[in-house]
Amino acid sequence: MRDVAVIGVGINKWGELWDKSLRDVFVEPALKAIDDAGVDHIDAMYVGCMSSGLFVAQEHLSSLLTDYLGMGPIPCCRVESACASGGLAFRQAYIDVASGANDIVLAGGVEKMTDVDGGGATYALATAADQEYEAFNGVTFPGLYALMATAHMHKYGTTREQLAHVAVKNHANGVLNPEAQFPMEVTVEQVLNSVLVADPLRLLDCSPITDGAAAVILCPLDMAKKIAKNGAAKIVASGHSTDTIAFHSRKDLTEIASTQRAAEKAYKMAGVGPNDIDFAEVHDCFTIAEICVTEALGFFEKGHGGKAAEAGETARDGKMPINPSGGLKSKGHPVGATGIAQIHEVVQQLRGNAGKRQLKNPKRGLAQNMGGSGGSSLVHILEAI
């Protein structure tokens, strides 16, 4: 297996992109990534997309997107793992390059979610849950994560205010991200007084519906050192795991076991531990998700994720900076693109190109992306070169 690096990244402004089709939304950051990498071709492409058939009635993205990117007839694969589709597309691209099958590979992610109404979006997203036991009986993802929050509060004493601090911190970071959908600061009081969605979660605890895309270019490490136009980051680990799709089948509602197992694989592969990570982009689809994920990744003891957020340990200047991009909460959550956008942020931070949100000299970053309520998880670790 060859060592692999990321040499190019691209993203567009996320939000409600009414004037752009899915193909337009994807092609823009894909071309940015190609230009950023300084390459004149790609050998293959992997695209994460959860549900384009339900959101915009378009399948067969492998043909559509290579065509409109002007890269046909290269091989392309559309990858789906619910909200972890982007992370899994990145893993497949990594394996492709590491195996020697191809040299220059684009990993992208895209979702156009606002072409349907709220009910249509809720229906599409609910397909990532267990249809017979959860969706059929009316359980939505806010409901599932509300159960997680309630269980965490009961077991560990996590407070409503601690959940709010996650949103406050991520919006403070998102203000510094020009691509973020909601680059606005919020206060603890605003979070606590926002509209109740699923008790105890309120509107400002929830990530939004978003249109957007992101793309990165991978190649062998030895090639990256010769051709990278704007610097590169080495991929040192890729961990992947699944769990039961039905929430009620899990041993502990406060734990995201798929993330814990994926992290264990990634740490072993990289030869590092949680204390060796300088910052992380994690899947904060809801504020409780960030708390549980930081515990699953080993950054904080179980039950202490909320306390860490409240104490400022996850802020950009804290002990373990989490989501300097603004996370899903502020940056947005076009479900198929989120995993790639996390890699985009990690690479930019390691290059020292993250602008006003740049961390102080990070050497190693982690990206964690998961599907549904944790039925699948990806953990990647990258290092500065």
Q: Give catalytic residue positions.
A: 83, 333
Instruction: Give the residue carrying structure tokens 């969605």.
Output: 197
Torsion of CA 332, 348, 183, 299, to 10 degrees: 70
CA angle 177, 179, 185 (to 5 degrees): 45
- Cβ neighbours of residue 340 closer than 8 Å, sequence gap 6 or more: 48, 86, 87, 89, 90, 107, 108, 109, 213, 214, 215, 216
Q: In sequence order, what DSSP letters do the residues of 239-277 get, joined into one string?
A: EEEE--SSGGGSS-TT--HHHHHHHHHHHHHHT--GGG-
Give 83's DSSP letter.
Answer: B
Distance CA 99, CA 95 (A): 6
Distance CA 385, CA 378 (A): 23
Q: Which two tokens stand for residue 150?
A: 């309630």
Task: Give Cα 360 distance to the centre of its chain.
Answer: 22
Query: Measuring CA to CA, which residue among 323, 38, 18 is closest to residue 166?
Result: 323
Using an 8 Å Cβ cutoff, are 83 and 370 in contact? yes
Helix (H) or strand (E) holding 98, with range, is: helix 85-99
HSE, side-chain direction, 13 A CA sphere, residue 169: 28
Distance CA 364, CA 277 (A): 6
